[in-house]
Amino acid sequence: MVSKVEICGVNTAKLPVYKDAEMKEMMEKIKAGDKDVKDEFIRGNLRLVLSVIQRFGNRGENPDDLFQVGCIGLIKAINNFDTSHGVKFSTYAVPMIIGEVRRYLRDNNSIRVSRSLRDTAYKALSIRERMGREMQREPSISEIATEMAIPREDLVLALDAIQEPISLYEPVVHDDGDPIYVMDQVKDTKNSDVHWIENIALAEAMAKLSPRERHILELRFFEGKTQMEVAEEISISQAQVSRLEKNALKYMRKYV
């Protein structure tokens, strides 16, 4: 999706680009009821929608669907934007677009959450949107909790309950061209692979590895260290640790 230029039949590379002063002037005309200027203003900010939905590209959703949902958030931002606060439109619009996309993903989430938590979370999101319009900035969790007259901890719990899950195989960073996944950052201190190694007699297979590969596997699977911790200990990049670990495991499968 990152390199996608045409989306929903719109070639974003050919869209107009307006400066802040031009956008402010157009917004004044929009508030006066000029629908043609509003349509042109929307077209001029479709790139903003595209840039926002790119951060949701690993959710398995159709980019066109996300783009259309993001456009709804853009229109809401235009309708509620107040030029008197002196805030750039993009600063105000981005949270609105993100909120609309998250609401769409949340409503299509297959994981069941208790009704009371969902009601609390939806009410909080509605209040956050209202407070955002009034304050012309994103309200804090504490401010929303105060407005709802509930403990901050209860609000955090409700909002966390409706967050869409993240795949363990979702890349979080690319280093030297190799993706590093969420699962590579997970440290398991309870369930190590010691018993598995003992049961399938990996001693011979590990003996065939180079000292460096063997050391990495010992740190990763016997001591339960993350790839980042291993990288710091042996003074190489995390991408190199990931590469050496995967190659070593692939080699060992021949003897296990």
71-114: per-residue pLDDT in tens?
A: 999 999 999 888 777 778 888 888 889 888 888 887 766 555 56
- pLDDT, mean of residues 143-151: 92
Give the other-Cβ count within 10 Å of 225's Cβ.
18
As given in the structure block, the two tokens for residue 251 are: 């080699």
Ramachandran assignment for 136, one of left (phi > 0), alpha (psi -120 to 50 degrees), beta (any other): left
Q: What are phi and psi of 27, to 5 degrees?
A: -65, -35
Q: Which residue has the higher pLDDT, 3 or 19?
A: 19
- pLDDT, mean of residues 22-32: 89
**pLDDT > 70? residue 172:** no
The proportion of the chain whose per-residue pLDDT surpasses 70, expressed as a percent, equals: 75
Q: Which residue has the higher pLDDT, 36 or 121?
A: 36
- pLDDT, mean of residues 33-56: 88
Asked whether the CA dihedral 98, 104, 105, 109 is positive or negative, the reply is positive
**pLDDT > 60? residue 220:** yes
CA distance 218 to 197: 11
Half-sphere exposure at residue 82, Cβ-oriented, CA atoms within 13 angstroms = 10
Q: What is the pLDDT of residue 143?
A: 92
- pLDDT, mean of residues 225-240: 88
Q: What is the pLDDT of residue 135?
A: 86
Q: CA–CA distance from 219 to each of 14, 127, 186, 187, 214 (Å)?
A: 52, 48, 14, 11, 9
Provide the mean pLDDT of the chain. Answer: 78
Tell me, yes or no, if the pTM score tops 0.85. Answer: no
Q: What is the pLDDT of residue 148?
A: 92
CA distance 9 to 120: 38
- pLDDT, mean of residues 152-156: 87
Confidence class for position 171, pLDDT limits 50, 70, 90: low
Q: What is the pLDDT of residues 199-213, one digit of tens each?
A: 455 677 777 788 888
Q: CA–CA distance from 181 to each of 61, 163, 221, 223 (Å)?
A: 19, 19, 17, 20
Q: What is the pLDDT of residue 75?
A: 92
3-class DSSP string for the chain: CCCCCEECCEEHHHCCCCCHHHHHHHHHHHHCCCHHHHHHHHHHCHHHHHHHHHHHCCCCCCHHHHHHHHHHHHHHHHHHCCHHHCCCHHHHHHHHHHHHHHHHHHHCCCCCCCHHHHHHHHHHHHHHHHHHHHHCCCCCHHHHHHHHCCCHHHHHHHHHHCCCCCCCCCEEEEECCEEEEHHHHCCCCCCCCHHHHHHCCCHHHHHCCCHHHHHHHHHHHHCCCCHHHHHHHHCCCHHHHHHHHHHHHHHHCCCC
- pLDDT, mean of residues 216-243: 87
CA distance 237 to 106: 36
CA distance 178 to 242: 8
